[in-house]
Amino acid sequence: MLTREEMKTKKIGVLLGGLSAEREVSLKTGNASLRALQQLGYDAVAIDVKTTLSQQLLEAGIEVAFIALHGRFGEDGRVQGLLELMHIPYTGSGVMSSSMAIDKVMTKQLLCYHQLPTPRFDFMGPGDSARDLALRCKHLPLVVKPSREGSTIGITIAKNHDDLVSGIHKAAALDGTVLVEEYIEGVELTVSVLNGEVCPVIQIVPKSGFYDYQSKYTTGATEYLIPAPIAADTYKQVQEAALRACDVLGCRGAARVDFMCREKDFYCIEVNTIPGMTETSLLPQAAKAAGIDFPQLVEMILLDADMDK
């Protein structure tokens, strides 16, 4: 990793936009991060990621990549692999970690193997029968998700069989692998992990009752309680589980682990390896509660830039 002084001599490309369904959120994350880096005196420029990314990086003379991409073709290991081939250090998790964490089914299988609590689940892969999956899933309500999308894109809360069938088809239109998991009614929590250090736990209280895309990215649509007003022992256990989940997946830099909590039982839902950095995003709020302002947060992420060892 480079020191602050060394990093100030490098041309930094903030990779934003991209090709996924989360392009608009990525533009907000990337532009906010870019402004912070420029404010701190770094030689940073925006790279709106296209299919010609390698050419874009070469033409701009990029020496370090700050990845602000969300979803596929950015958070899934593909861009990380390209940067490895080009010998360009980058922020966030490496190739393997990124590709595993974006896949909710793979993540849950790893969590189960390492005895970390996660809701019961079933899934179907490419070519599998949606009808057979629906018939196997008998205990409603259930949550249906495409395995490799974020920001609650394509999600369905299925309260009856018809909802379940339509939810599977909706998710399958976005991803060949569809996850169906037990619906946990309770408190929604999230824990950010920054360079191996755990941040304060946030409780998420959407005014609509469901933390969907609108609730995530509309100012004032959701209340965030920091630190989360839960039992002290549960608070500590959730933080420990977040660190363990990141360790299991091999995450580095900034990551965020989402949980549902029902009384004193908690369940890991997913791990995000490139958390959002918009004005309503959770990582900046958690960092602020830990005494880290936004420019400092962005710089901490940048200075952890590296390649797979």
CATH number at residue 28: 3.40.50.20
Q: Does 252 lie in the same domain as 203?
A: yes
**Within a domain: residue 15?**
yes
Q: Which of 42, 211, 217, 235 is catalytic?
A: 217
Those residues with Cβ within 8 angstroms of residue 6's Cβ, 6 or more apart along the chain or in another chain: none
- Cα–Cα distance for residue pair 111/143, rounded to 1 Å: 18
Strand 43-48 and strand 11-16: the pairing is parallel
Q: Number of folded domains in the chain?
A: 3
Q: Hey, CA dihedral for 152, 251, 274, 186, is it positive or negative?
A: positive
Q: Does 273 lie in the same domain as 208?
A: yes
258 is catalytic: yes
Q: Which of 151, 192, 215, 281 is catalytic?
A: 151
Those residues with Cβ within 8 angstroms of residue 291's Cβ, 6 or more apart along the chain or in another chain: none
pTM of the model: 0.93
22 is catalytic: yes
To which residue do tokens 């033409």 refer? 59
217 is catalytic: yes
Token pair for 70:
């969300």
pLDDT at 149: 83
Lowest mean pLDDT among 65-79, 198-212, 242-256: 198-212
Q: Which of 13, 22, 74, 77 is catalytic?
A: 22
Q: Does 203 lie in the same domain as 279?
A: yes
Residue 208 clears pLDDT 80, i.e. is over it? no
Q: Does 109 lie in the same domain as 60?
A: no
Q: Label residue 217 by pLDDT band (50, 70, 90).
A: low
Q: Does 240 lie in the same domain as 106?
A: yes
Q: Does 87 lie in the same domain as 14?
A: yes
Q: Does 165 lie in the same domain as 134?
A: yes
**Within a domain: residue 82?**
yes
Q: Over the stretch 241-280, which tens digit does the pLDDT of each residue have?
A: 999 999 999 999 999 999 999 988 999 999 999 999 987 7
What DSSP string runs through 33-55? HHHHHHHTT-EEEEEE--TTHHH
Q: Over the stretch 116-133, which tens digit does the pLDDT of each residue have?
A: 999 999 999 998 999 999
Query: What stretch of H or E contains 143?
Result: strand 142-146
Q: Which of 72, 78, 148, 256 is catalytic?
A: 256
Q: Does 232 lie in the same domain as 105?
A: yes
Q: Count CB neighbours of 182 within 10 A.
A: 17
Q: Which of 149, 175, 270, 304 is catalytic?
A: 270
Residue 306 DSSP class: B
Q: Over the stretch 278-294, which tens digit does the pLDDT of each residue have?
A: 877 899 999 999 999 99
Where in the sequence is the domain holding 132, given as residue range(s)? 121-182
